[in-house]
Every structure is written in C-alpha cells, then in structure tokens.
Amino acid sequence: MSAAVGSPYRAAPAAQHRRKGRAGAVTLRCSKVAAAAAAPILDDLRLQCATPLPLLRHVAGAMAAGMRAGLAVDGAGELKMIPSYVYSLPTGSETGLFYALDLGGTNFRVLRVQLGGKDGRVIDTESEQVSIPKEIMHGTTEELFDFIAARLSNFVAKEGGNFHLQEGWKREIGFTFSFPVKQTSIDSGILIKWTKGFAVSGTAGKDVVACLNAAMERQGLDMSVSALVNDTVGALAGAHYWDEDVMVAVILGTGTNACYIERTESIPKLQHLGLGTGNTIINTEWGAFSDGLPLTEFDRDMDAESINPGEQIFEKTISGMYLGEIVRRVLARMAQESDLFGHSFADKLTEPFVLRTPHLCAMQQDNSDDLGEVESILRDIIGVNQSSVAARRVIVEVSDCIVKRGGRLAGAGIAGILQKMENDSKGLILGRRTVVAMDGGLYENYPQYRSYMVEAMAELLGPQDMEHIVVEHTKDGSGIGAALLAAANSKYAAAQHSA
C-alpha cells in the first residue's frame, strides 16, 4: 500500500470481558459449532493456496521466461519489460540543487534536494504534499498541469537556507509519473490512459513532460524536466545512490511492481539503437504476470467483478489492495454456509473492500488468549457483535492463508528476477553481495508477509546463494530517486563531475 499498512488504524483496546446473558451464551455456543463447520472451507482454502517448492520453482521460472520474452519483442508476453531510458545512474558525485515531482494518486509531492558530491552527498531535503481536488482530477489537461505548476512555483518561492542554485544554471526536475506511459526517451513519455480515479480530458496520446513544461512556462517558472521515471525506477535509483550493490527494486504496497538493472546487450528489442555495452533499468510491470499462480474461486470472483477483469492477476494475488478483500469473500462464504458468526449474517460483510489489509495485519499481531483485537475489528468493521474465540481463530487462519500465499509468491517473483540476471551474466549476480531494495507499506508494516517472502526466496535460491542476497527496506526512495536521476541526467552533468 502506498499508505502504511496498519497506519490508518490505531490498535483497538482488547475487548473487555462482558457479562453475557443466556441468549449471548447460546449464541457463542452456536458460534463454536459453526467454527467447526467452517473447517472444510478452510481446508479447501489451504489446499488451493498452497505454495510448495515445485510450484514456487514454476512461478520463478515462468517469471524469468516472461522477462526474456518481453525484452525480445514488445507484446510477446505478459510482462511489458518497459525500458526506462536511464543509462546514467547516480554515482554520488552529483552536485547542485534539484527538484522532484511525484504524481501517482490523489496527492502529489514536490521535493528539493541539495547535493554535495562524494563528500557532502545529500546536504538537505525539503518536501511538501498537495491534495488534488476532485474537480481537477476530472478536469482538462491544462487545469491539472496548471494546478501542479502553480503549487510547484509556490514551493520554489520558499527556497532558502541550505538550498541554492548554482550561478548560470536553470532549475531541473525529475518527474515521477505512476500512470501507464509509453516512454520514448529519458525526458519524454506518451500517456496511454489515466487510472486511479483520474479522468482528465485531452491528455491521452500526449507527452506528459511537454504538458508539465508548458504549464511551468505559463507560470513563469524557469524549470525543465530532465528525467521522467516510474516510481519503482525512482526507488531503485534512490537506493543505488547509497549502495551500488542495489540491483533490483520492488514496491509492495497498495499495488506492486519490480524493476532491475539489465545489460543493454541483453535487450534484443533495443539493439537497433546501437547502445553497445552498458546498463539500464527495466520496468517489468510484473503485476500483469499470471503463469501458474494458485488461484481460488474467491480470486476468480473478485477478478471478474473488478474494473480490469483478466488483468493484473499477480498484483491481485500479492498486493495490499486485494488481500483484505479476498479474506472478506472467504469469510462471507463461511458465514453463509456455516453460521460462523451465529445465526445473524453481518450485512457489512457483503460490502466489497470493507475489510482491508491493515485489518488483517492488526488481527495477525493479536497474541492475546481471547483474541480481543480480532473481536474489536469484527465488531467495528464488519458489524459482528458476538463471536467465539474459536471463530476468531478461524478468521486469523484464513488471513494467514491468503497472506502466506501472497508473500511466498512475491518471493518467487524476486527469485525469478535474480535467477534470470544470474543466468544471463553467467554467474555474476548470486556469487557476490546483491541488494534488493524494498519499498511500500505492505512490506514495511506486515511482518508475517515479509517473513513469508524471504522464506520463499531462501527455499528457491538455497542457503549458499541466499547468503549474498540482502533484502533492504528503502523508505520513500522514489521521490528522492527522481531528483537524483534529474541530477544524473542533467545538462550540467559534466560540470557537476568536474566540480
């Protein structure tokens, strides 16, 4: 999740022991019986969600095969394997003042960073977050980009303190744009379509960098975009700045994606550009992967009712947006077929996405004997006023089943990327320290998910290779990563390195 898993919810106090009348006692006895009746559904779920090693090997192998297909020809497989056109990664020698704009949802963020080269590194950063009004999200291209440019201009006007532009330089900005684009160079990209609730008219088919540059010009803001990046690419660049062993970046939040550093000679579809030998970042768009995933009827029903049926199956199986919804669907079935919560069916349990991944996380952290936190969430979120401890245990087990599958499949995906890199480099990846940078609230805040992910990686890679793999959390790397890529791809880059 882009917002931290668990962060929207304070931990509810453990439920107080209440005196129950005869009716309450009968309800709880029924609930215990119903918990036992729900066991066959839980057993089936465990079976269908199982991720034994042979299945993980298939997923990792299919991920690697899908990567190769996408690198060979556009549209050849499920993975788009989009070139980032980033050929210059930050090295630490960058100097000067650079800006970043991160647009990926109902808020956007502006950031500035003062870089001091090898000795000073990041001298200082400042950022502001701006909420985008609904009428702007449903307005015209000019209205959206003028709104952004105006807020950016206000932010630039507050420049001071440790931030200073070098004499004779024009301000440059890295633009993190987390919507589907067909990128054509490091500083240009055509919008394919808006997502995430945006319905801005007149932008599809246009270069979003040109739209932003024009809006900044209308504001009288002397600034230009020097790098257009996806948020995952930004996260990799930001992490690589501090640790040159970072080779892969994965975002596990509301949605999910992965990118990695690829050798240009291993990208057949770019050979016509005559790039020679070197490295670039490839955005896998791995959310679209689906080969061999262990899906249940609950997954298929959720997918069929989604706004994009048949698409983003990996994302729907492993990311924070969907884990809670899958669990809700399982619980609704149990409530219907086994009276899990007594004879009354909670109407709120029929509401899609009423149960969210932060709720699962809070329930799985409940170690109390009576599972009071689970009881509180059932009451406050789903409207179940009475439940037995046995029923609450079933709910925790359902949650664990879905979260375990998601974490282990994410781990298999990462292992597939690493194995593909290892095979193509003829042993230059797994035999040395290699860092996987992780970002996103799901990874950061859900310890069980994190453990399952690393566990699957270790099973697939083996103890000897896993010894060299470092899985590292890089919080909020995409924003500063965009500013660093603006610096690395600046028209003043030669002057920076000689400074």
Write down the catalytic residue from 196, 206, 475, 491: 196
How far, in Å, CA of 217 to CA of 397, rounded? Answer: 56
Going from the C-alpha of 435 to that of each of 226, 244, 319, the distances in angstroms are 27, 9, 21
Question: Which residue matches tokens 């298929």?
Answer: 300
Count of CB atoms within 10 A of residue 133's CB?
Answer: 12
E strands along 306-353, which residues?
none
Dihedral sign computed on CA atoms, order 219, 222, 226, 227: negative
263 contacts 279 by C-beta, under 8 angstroms: yes
186 contacts 85 by C-beta, under 8 angstroms: yes
Q: Which residues pair with 283 in a beta bridge?
A: 82, 259
| Total count of residues recorded for the chain | 499
Contacts of 10 (CB under 8 A, 6+ apart): none
| DSSP H stretches of helix in 73-190 | 117-120, 134-137, 141-157
Going from the C-alpha of 305 to that of each of 82, 299, 352, the distances in angstroms are 28, 10, 10
Dihedral sign computed on CA atoms, order 157, 2, 246, 257: negative
Eight-class DSSP state of 387: -
Write down the catalytic residue from 231, 339, 439, 465: 231
Count of CB atoms within 10 A of residue 271's CB?
Answer: 10
Dihedral sign computed on CA atoms, order 104, 105, 111, 116: negative
| DSSP string computed for 338-405 | H-TT-SSPPGGGGSTT-S-HHHHHHHHT--STT-HHHHHHIIIII------HHHHHHHHHHHHHHHHH
User: 435 phi and psi, to 5 degrees?
Assistant: -105, 135
Q: Is 20 a catalytic residue?
A: no
How far, in Å, CA of 164 to CA of 321, rounded? Answer: 41
Dihedral sign computed on CA atoms, order 189, 195, 200, 201: positive
Q: Is 196 a catalytic residue?
A: yes
Contacts of 440 (CB under 8 A, 6+ apart): 1, 2, 250, 251, 252, 253, 254, 256, 320
Copy the structure tokens of residue 273. 């550009």
Q: List, by residue number, the catalytic residues.
A: 196, 231
